[in-house]
Structure 1
Amino acid sequence: MTAPYAPEEREKVVAKLPASLRQELKVRAAELGVDIKDAVTEGVHAWRADSAPRPTVDTSGASSFSTYLPAGLYGELKSDCKKRGVPFNQGIAQSIRLWLDTHRSPRRVPRTTGARRLVIGNQKGGVGKTAIAAGVAQSLAELGHRVCLIDFDPQGHLTVQLGNQMFGIEDPSLAKHMLGEAKGELRELLVPIEEGVFGGRLFLLPACKDAFLLDAKLATTRHVRVKETALEKALEQLEQDFDFIVVDCPPSLGYSMDTALYYSRTREGEEPGTSGVYVPVLAEDSSADAYDMLSDQIQDLIDDLDVEVALLGFVVNMYDGRKGYIATSSLNSWKEIGDPPVVAVIPELKEQREAVRLKQPLLYYAPESEQSEAMREIARRIVV
């Protein structure tokens, strides 16, 4: 389907593409300062020049996408697709995928001190730590970074919500590696998240059922001299494989939380604010009480171990201004703190709950939703 576009001697081309691929193209083109039509044009030329079979792009859930190609290129692409036995929509999708794969995100992070470590924590449950950890990790992967998402909560909500099984009590696990009780390498436990644009860049370390015992065992273990270093020692082997490690923490102030806070500290030679803690909160008073307890725990760790732990920001989650004064005044109170700042306000909408029910990543299930855009805003702040 074409229509002349005389001003640039181009013609309009309409195809069907999945929302995740359109979004990745939009983000990458913006990062590189390239017009989308020029990116697609380069991809089509590259696809036509390389006759080798290319991997099929998943176009399930595709919707309308339009761009402008130089006059005549549409016909040439259509002819090539016919010769190769490839549907036109698949040809366009493969062309865009080829361009994305050969034009990497410029926002690669020098890993002179290992992966950047982002801890998502709050003593209060039900504030959306899991949703925010998952959404931020997905957004960073969408930007082209390699991301490891750690389910450090023994309840295992993150693991289950992404359609995976928790490790059994007798299985190797992160907890066992922290305690020196596991054989093999930790990277062998990673599960790839393949949906949408995440293939090859986003990995999950599932939760384990024995993690409920971790606090008690950390109190007596002799595997590490300083118990707060247990998580860092276990994850050390993964750091050079990833740009970011995102840790979804339990709603706890115990030893395991101490290990996560220590892991997020600013390391020697690391720029301040590179790694640290994001605190999900709700626009209501109990979140403020829980934050006070977390803040005290962080300060105690700083004082006891002489380290620096950066509070990177609040994420006000499940916000609904229609709830009136309680919600709006509480949001203002979070903003008035100033340091750390409010880095995002995520609305109370149905897409996140639907994604959880379907056991799909939010940015795959609803890539154009307000919640997905809020997650991307956090990721953009992180990589700038």
Structure 2
Amino acid sequence: MASPDSTGDREKVVSKLPGWLRQDLKVRTAQLGVEIQTAVEQGINDWCDLASAPTAVDTSGADPFSTWLPPGQWELFRTTAADRRVSLIQGLAQAVQLWLQKNPAPAVKRPEHPRRVIVCNQKGGVGKTAVAAGTGEAMAEDPNTLYPVRVSKHFAALLEGQDHGSAADPIGIGELPGLGLRVLLVDFDPQCHLTQQLGHKPLPMDGDSLTKHMAGEPVGELRDLIVPIEEDRFGDRLHLLPSCNDAFLLDVKLAGVRAREAALERALAPIEPLFDVILVDCPPSLGLSMDAAVYYGRRRDNEPSGSSGALTVVQAEDSSADAYTLLTTQIEDLRHDLAIEIDYLGIVVNHYDARRGFIATSSLQAWMDIKDPRVVGVIGDLKEQKEAVRVKRPLLAYAPKSDQAVAMRALAREIS
């Protein structure tokens, strides 16, 4: 059935598609950045141009499906289907399947060199660990599955093949494929929060550790310490380098190490080729270990700006602003002293709750007023993150549709 569109350039078409085929269509159009209505239009054109109908598609359990097509195309399709003695539902399914075959899923875009993101702030308790974990989880989700992401309502409408949304209310929830990147989360904090929150135990003090590799005292290969985060949605793409309490001694050990600023880079260099993104959950410190982390996140030769760098996590309150000033001072000193380029990837305002009144809202506005680096994410102070920590599961596996998970996916795309 077809009815005129109010704009006069397309008509609404109502038919049926089996659920699995409709889902494949949604995923593929999202992967390719194509409107659903455009994909269906192209599929019908190609199907009508065939000499005969292709192999039948299983349409059992087909559900209502609607989209918008150019005027007259549906009537041509109906005539062609009648000539081929196939039902409109079967013909539409064949047309969609044909489009899917002609437009395969794109390969995951992998960076030429592994991106290095240091998640930092010298103030404790701002949620660096939660942001590091959530961002890494979002980067590693399945590229052939759709997940809710905070996007513009215009884009969300296009993903659904609907009208063009409202510019007056620009933020909505759309569904996008996972990024499918190979991610390593590095727990660089001696408190081991990231390690424990993801369900693993800290490395034993009498064994091998990242600290020992940085201090030039390795016991074995660093790659042997890496453990997978075993959740189906991440496949084999999300891994963790656990921490060890010996990291409390790292600043003392680094004091006697040659070129100590490069100690973290030397330690991680052998495993970099295994990953697309390495996120380092930094300690709340301004010591030598933080110098090593900042140096690791510097822009390397031939690396595009904004690929690697510092992601700063703050809260909407005054003490975070004081800590931010101390951190940026340290980064700028290193930039000047070592003649290196360090990119600021952005500011994440975490644990935000507007119900806290003027202090929260005015602080958020103050962060928003900083244009370089800009705010790239605002994460609400909600219960799902605390629950995920309690049960020792990744947030995006425990509560994949929660507001925090949706915001983490948006953040991952902002800095990708």
Structures share fold, TM-score greater than 0.5:
yes
Structure 1 residues 75 and 290: alpha-carbon distance in aligned structure 2, compared to 1, 3 A threshold: closer
Structure 1 residues 371 and 72: alpha-carbon distance in aligned structure 2, compared to 1, 3 A threshold: same
**Structure 1 segment 320-331 matched on structure 2, within 5 A:** 320-331=353-364
**Structure 1 segment 1-384 matched on structure 2, within 5 A:** 10-13=16-19, 30-33=30-33, 72-74=58-60, 106-111=107-112, 114-142=113-141, 143-221=179-257, 225-383=258-416
1:19 match: none
1:318 to partner: Cα distance: 0.5
Structure 1 CA distance for aligned equivalents of residues 239 and 60 of structure 2: 37
1:239 to partner: Cα distance: 1.1
> Does the 8 A contact of 1:13 with 1:74 survive in 2?
no
What is the identity percentage for the equivalent residue pairs of Structure 1 and Structure 2? 56
Deviations 1:164-193 (A, max 9, x none): 000011111111111121132111111001
- Structure 1 or 2: more helix by fraction: 1
Q: Secondary structure at the match of 2:199?
A: coil
> Does the 8 A contact of 1:266 with 1:310 survive in 2?
yes
Structure 1 residues 268 and 361: alpha-carbon distance in aligned structure 2, compared to 1, 3 A threshold: same
Bigger mean CA deviation after superposition, 189-198 or 158-167:
189-198
Structure 2 CA distance for aligned equivalents of residues 154 and 288 of structure 1: 24
Structure 1 CA distance for aligned equivalents of residues 227 and 36 of structure 2: 33
Structure 1 residues 73 and 274: alpha-carbon distance in aligned structure 2, compared to 1, 3 A threshold: same
Structure 2 CA distance for aligned equivalents of residues 106 and 337 of structure 1: 36
Deviations 1:282-329 (A, max 9, x none): 000000000010011001111111101111111000101111110000
1:71 to partner: Cα distance: 6.7
> Does the 8 A contact of 2:207 with 2:219 survive in 1?
no
Deviations 1:68-109 (A, max 9, x none): xx9743379xxxxxxxxxxxxxxxxxxxxxx9xx97664513
Q: What is the aligned residue count?
A: 312
> Does the 8 A contact of 1:32 with 1:106 survive in 2?
no
Structure 1 residues 31 and 211: alpha-carbon distance in aligned structure 2, compared to 1, 3 A threshold: same
> Does the 8 A contact of 1:137 with 1:149 survive in 2?
yes
Deviations 1:201-247 (A, max 9, x none): 000000012110001110013xxx21000000000011111100000
Structure 1 CA distance for aligned equivalents of residues 126 and 183 of structure 2: 23
Structure 2 CA distance for aligned equivalents of residues 138 and 351 of structure 1: 15
Structure 2 CA distance for aligned equivalents of residues 127 and 188 of structure 1: 31
1:199 to partner: Cα distance: 1.8
- Return structure 1 stretches of 4+ with deviation > 2 angstroms: 7-14, 24-29, 31-39, 70-76, 102-107
Q: TM-score, normalised by structure 2?
A: 0.70
Gaps of 5+ in 2: 1-12, 41-55, 63-99, 142-178
Gaps of 5+ in 1: 1-6, 15-21, 40-69, 77-98
Structure 2 CA distance for aligned equivalents of residues 73 and 34 of structure 1: 24
1:155 to partner: Cα distance: 0.1
CA RMSD of aligned residues (A): 2.7
Structure 1 residues 11 and 106: alpha-carbon distance in aligned structure 2, compared to 1, 3 A threshold: closer
Structure 2 CA distance for aligned equivalents of residues 181 and 254 of structure 1: 20
> Does the 8 A contact of 2:116 with 2:296 survive in 1?
yes
1:60 match: none
Q: Secondary structure at the match of 1:277?
A: strand
1:248 to partner: Cα distance: 0.2
Q: Secondary structure at the match of 2:415?
A: helix
> Does the 8 A contact of 2:18 with 2:59 survive in 1?
no
Structure 1 CA distance for aligned equivalents of residues 36 and 239 of structure 2: 29
Structure 2 CA distance for aligned equivalents of residues 155 and 357 of structure 1: 16
Amino acid at match of 1:32: L
1:265 to partner: Cα distance: 0.3
Structure 1 residues 35 and 335: alpha-carbon distance in aligned structure 2, compared to 1, 3 A threshold: closer
Structure 1 residues 366 and 35: alpha-carbon distance in aligned structure 2, compared to 1, 3 A threshold: farther
Amino acid at match of 1:182: P
Structure 1 CA distance for aligned equivalents of residues 213 and 60 of structure 2: 55
Q: Secondary structure at the match of 2:412?
A: helix
Structure 1 CA distance for aligned equivalents of residues 385 and 264 of structure 2: 29
Q: Secondary structure at the match of 1:318?
A: strand
Structure 1 residues 371 and 240: alpha-carbon distance in aligned structure 2, compared to 1, 3 A threshold: same
Structure 2 CA distance for aligned equivalents of residues 324 and 359 of structure 1: 32
Structure 1 CA distance for aligned equivalents of residues 414 and 109 of structure 2: 14
